[in-house]
Amino acid sequence: MESFGARLHRAVTERGPLCVGIDPHPGLLARWGLPDDVTGLDRFARTVVEALGDRVAVIKPQSAFFERFGSRGVEILESTIRQLRASGSLVLLDVKRGDIGSTVAAYAAAYLDPSSPLYVDAVTASPYLGVGSLAPMFELAAAQGGGVFVLALTSNPEGAAVQRARAADGRTVAQTVIDEISQLNAGAEPLGSFGLVVGATIGDTGHDLSAVNGPLLAPGLGAQGATPADLRVVFGSSLPAVLPSYSREVLGAGPDVAALRAAADRALAGCRAALAAG
């Protein structure tokens, strides 16, 4: 099976370096004139798929905004995933799961096993029970051509207390995550399947990302305050591996399909220019 890294490299080459979230929070549903219920959720998700599914490289549904409606919300998430995959976009499910033993193996099966109704191309994961605790997720992803994006340097101010704390060997916790993911990607071509989440708002990281050889998901663009120009500061020589991620900046243009497409095109143009300048 073709690796996620290879599929992502091709998708970005063909469609451009852009990830757009599907984040149907109450305020955004209201802005679209939709009710904060499963009918509004379904209409929102279907509109995003119609507007962007056949033109954006990666679409990132935020699972929590579907889960809050219970089983009917999860059913809509499953349908959205199927629609996105049929449209040709890669699906990155933002779940930030992290656990140990049989539990993390069950999470892996839920999202990375092709027989699951929630099967996606890649997921986000939390390493704070130890990167090694995610081994079942990495193993299933490798076997099934999936990807995992692991939190490393996030843009929320609370994250620094953990991520920039220093281990006994002097490395920060974030650097240990970076180093272990780099080892998983060693020798992969054209791109490894295991990525990192590094916020676009954090400025100069003071960390070495050059050896990761995998995708670097950069949330925080647009409504959270970062601009494409900030990518050069955060990622430096690692810019070719960056996957910029927008949510509200693009989604706020809805519910008009043409307006959503135009917003995504503007975001992509800005990212192309910034990444090329690097």
pLDDT at 278: 58
Whole-number Cα distances in Å, 28 to 22, 65, 167, 250: 10, 11, 41, 11
Q: What is the pLDDT of residues 91-136, one digit of tens each?
A: 999 999 999 999 999 999 999 999 999 999 999 999 999 999 999 9
Task: List residues with catalytic annotation.
Answer: 96
pTM, 2 dp: 0.97
pLDDT at 223: 84
Q: Where does residue 203 fall: left (phi above 0), alpha (psi -120 to 50 degrees), or beta otherwise?
A: left
Q: How many domains does the chain have?
A: 1
* Residue ranges making up the domain that contains 268: 4-277
More confident residue, 278 or 252: 252
User: Greatest CA span in the chain, whole angstroms?
Assistant: 53
pLDDT at 1: 82
pLDDT at 214: 98
Q: What's the average model confidence in pLDDT over 26-41?
A: 98
DSSP code of 223? T
Other beta carbons within 10 Å of 60: 28
In sequence order, the 6+-apart residues with CB closer than 8 A to the CB of 203 are 230, 233, 234
In this structure, what CATH number is given to the domain that contains residue 271?
Answer: 3.20.20.70
Report helix, strand or coil for 98: coil
Q: What's the average model confidence in pLDDT over 186-190?
A: 97
What is the average pLDDT value for the chain, to the nearest integer? 97
Whether 201 contacts 246, CB under 8 Å: no
* Amino acid letter for position 125: A
List the beta strands (DSSP E) in the chain: 19-22, 58-61, 90-97, 122-125, 147-153, 194-198, 216-221, 242-246
